[in-house]
Amino acid sequence: MNGRKNAVAPTRLAARYGSVAVVTGASEGIGRAFAQALAKAGLDLILVARREKALAALAAELTAAHRVAVEVLALDLADPASCDTLLARTQGRDVGLLVAAAGFGTSGPLISSDPHEERAMIDVNCRAVVHLAQGFAARFVARGRGGLVLMSSLVAFQGTPFAANYAATKAYVQTLAEGLRAELKPKGVDVIASAPGPIRSGFAARANMRMGLAQGPRAVAQATLNALGRKGTVRPGWLAKGLEASLALLPRAGRTAIMARVMGGMTKHQNAQTKTQAAGSA
């Protein structure tokens, strides 16, 4: 991903969206990769995540490497008030790009999962996304240009057993992005859904999944920014493209059956954990 062909074009991003971008979920994984790519492209940044120390360290790194202005906002997007705070704190700033990369997943049978975690995931993956998309899109329309990057997933396109709620949240984001793109394109605002496959990040650990084949988050950020304003949905990286091609000709029920086998493999260790916990409590 380091060749000239795949490099982010600073002049295109700055000219199309302006000088300031907001990135949520910026402390690690895909959000961090977006922040790095945008700083390299010369955009000033407003970084949002729960962990203030991690954000501050990233801000110092980006400022030193790229001489951009970076502001840090420590917010938990599971809290409904956090989106209002972010919108208020950015009022008056000429933000032209929102990368809504904050999100997390769960895995395993839904009936065995923590209800609080499942509902918090809906808050972060769906409620916060539409709240921020609506707020920033209105500003972008008023200024006559802007861009929204919304994080979908390979699992957004069919039911996914053992990650049923997570897949449903990503289906929501995918559908939201498709509809908003048609609404906002005539008003000068670009919208893209980024639908990666398995990615090496902190996501798998939090979701209690074990991934075999996976790609790095930089591939996601790079390909998504390259496609922004040119496509409505991007499947970044060779792995996402390959997995989608293998599912494309199957009916929806067939895709769900395949995903059941894939997720079953990623979560089979949970059965051993459950047995160990049960033995320990006996």
Catalytic residues: 166
Closest CA to 129 of 85, 163, 170: 170
Q: Where are the beta strands (DSSP E) in 43-188?
A: 44-49, 70-74, 95-100, 146-151
CA distance 247 to 238: 14
- Quick check: helix, strand or coil at residue 202? coil
Decide: 199 and 183 in contact? Cβ < 8 Å.
no
Identify the helix (H) or strand (E) that includes residue 87: helix 80-89
- In sequence order, the 6+-apart residues with CB closer than 8 A to the CB of 191 are 147, 148, 150, 177, 180, 181, 184, 185, 232
Q: What is the number of residues in the chain? A: 282
Residue 274's CB is within 10 A of a number of other CB atoms, namely 12
- Quick check: helix, strand or coil at residue 196? coil
CA distance 275 to 282: 11
DSSP structural state of residue 231: B
